[in-house]
Structure 1
Amino acid sequence: MLELKNITKSFGSRTIIKDLNLTVKDGEILSIVGPSGAGKTTLLRCITGLEKVNAGEFLVDGQPFDPYTNRSNDSVIGVVFQNFELFPNLTVMQNITLAPTMVLKQSTDEATKQAQTLLDRLNLGDHADQYPFQLSGGQKQRVAIARALAMRPNVLCYDEPTSALDPNLRQEVEKLILGLKADGMTQIVVTHDLTFAENIADEMFHVEPNKQQ
């Protein structure tokens, strides 16, 4: 279980998040929704350690945890970025195995075997030797998810997972996220798409600009 207690985040004199309390239960999906500029992505960046909070604390299974200073953070909280952030000069397999071999110190054989299992599971088994420019948007997203899962995170976060995709792929993304839930993965999804959020979420958290002042 991931808990946020009295989290505050400011940029200069502007407070984006103030005294926020939030709980994400194990195996559940939390959708964070709200209009652009309300602080959804800032909140996700704080959870994933990309931004340092000004005040408050994080707890994982009741134990204090600082996403910002935890250098092996990907093994606790994984993230799938809005634009996927794949390395263009690496193949799909290399994108997925890079962090497990460097951070988790897995052997190349172990990381490759795990990556192939993930690719097969995500219907990308025959794309291992391709480069990101050879993939569709939906395929890039699945590679990004495989890369995050390869670090064996406790929580997997998504930043606007449908925004870079064609509208007709939204249902495919829903099925993928719900499939990971069935496997017990705890997930946090930031989205402006309310219908999508309602279709996948166990809990909804609404962020409003006028509450962040």
Structure 2
Amino acid sequence: MLKLENITKSFNGTTILNNLNVEVKDNSILSIVGPSGAGKTTLLRCIAGLDRPDSGTFILNDKPFDPAESTDTERIIGVVFQDFNLFPHLTVMENVTLAPKMVLKQSKDDAVNNAESILKELELSSHAGQYPFELSGGQKQRVAIARALAMQPQILCYDEPTSALDPSLRDAVGQVILNLKETGITQIVVTHDPEFAKNISDQILEVKPINK
């Protein structure tokens, strides 16, 4: 279980998050919704350790946890970025296996075997040898998810996973997220789409701009 207690974050004197509290249960899906500028992505970046809050505490499994400093962050929290951040010069397989080999020190065979299993689960096996420019938006999204899963995270975060997709692909991405829940992964989803959030979530956190 992940708890956020009194998380506060400001930029250039403007408070974005103010004493925010939320509890994310294991094997659940939390969606963070709200208008642009309300702090959705800022909150996600703090959870992932990409930004440090000004104050507040993270509690993971009843123990204090600092996402920005933990040496286990790569395995505890994974992130699927809005623009996918795939390496254009690497194939799908190379994108998925790079970090496990470099960070987790997996052998090439182990990394490939793990990647093959993940790609099969996400219906990407036939695309393993392709490069990102050869893929559709939905395929790139699934590759980004596969790359994050290859790091074996306890918690997987998504920043606007449907924003770059056609409406027809939104439900497919939602189904991927629901399927991953069955594997025991806790998921946190930032989305501008309340309907999408309602369809996939166990819990919805609505953040609002702080009155000046």
Structure 2: distance between partners of 1:124 and 1:209? 39
* Map 1:1-213 → 2, pairs under 5 A: 1-210=1-210
1:131-155 Cα shifts (integer Å, max 9, x gaps): 1001000000000000000001010
Structure 2: distance between partners of 1:210 and 1:133? 40
Q: Secondary structure at the match of 1:44?
A: helix
Please say if residues 31 and 190 of structure 1, whose CA atoms lie closer than 8 Å, have aligned partners that are also in contact.
Answer: yes
Please say if residues 74 and 148 of structure 1, whose CA atoms lie closer than 8 Å, have aligned partners that are also in contact.
Answer: no
Identity %: 63
Structure 1 residue 69 displacement after superposition = 1.4
Q: Secondary structure at the match of 1:93?
A: helix
User: Match of 1:179, as an amino acid?
Assistant: N
Structure 1: distance between partners of 2:71 and 2:99? 12
User: Match of 2:148, as an amino acid?
Assistant: A
1:65-112 Cα shifts (integer Å, max 9, x gaps): 111112441200001001100011111111111111111111110001
Q: Secondary structure at the match of 1:204?
A: strand
The answer for unaligned runs of 5 or more in structure 1 is none
User: Match of 2:176, as an amino acid?
Assistant: L
Structure 1: distance between partners of 2:56 and 2:107? 38
Q: Secondary structure at the match of 2:195?
A: helix
Structure 2: distance between partners of 1:173 and 1:55? 34
1:124-182 Cα shifts (integer Å, max 9, x gaps): 00111111001000000000000000001010010001100011101101111110112
User: Match of 1:125, as an amino acid?
Assistant: S
Please say if residues 15 and 210 of structure 2, whose CA atoms lie closer than 8 Å, have aligned partners that are also in contact.
Answer: no
4+ aligned runs moved over 6 Å, structure 1: none
Q: Secondary structure at the match of 1:209?
A: coil
Structure 1 residue 184 displacement after superposition = 1.5
Structure 2: distance between partners of 1:150 and 1:170? 23
Range moving further from structure 2, 65-74 or 47-56: 65-74
Work out the number of aligned pairs and report it: 212
Q: Secondary structure at the match of 1:210?
A: coil
Q: Secondary structure at the match of 2:7?
A: strand
Please say if residues 79 and 156 of structure 2, whose CA atoms lie closer than 8 Å, have aligned partners that are also in contact.
Answer: yes
Structure 2: distance between partners of 1:22 and 1:138? 30
Please say if residues 181 and 187 of structure 2, whose CA atoms lie closer than 8 Å, have aligned partners that are also in contact.
Answer: yes
User: Match of 1:27, as an amino acid?
Assistant: N
Please say if residues 29 and 203 of structure 2, whose CA atoms lie closer than 8 Å, have aligned partners that are also in contact.
Answer: yes
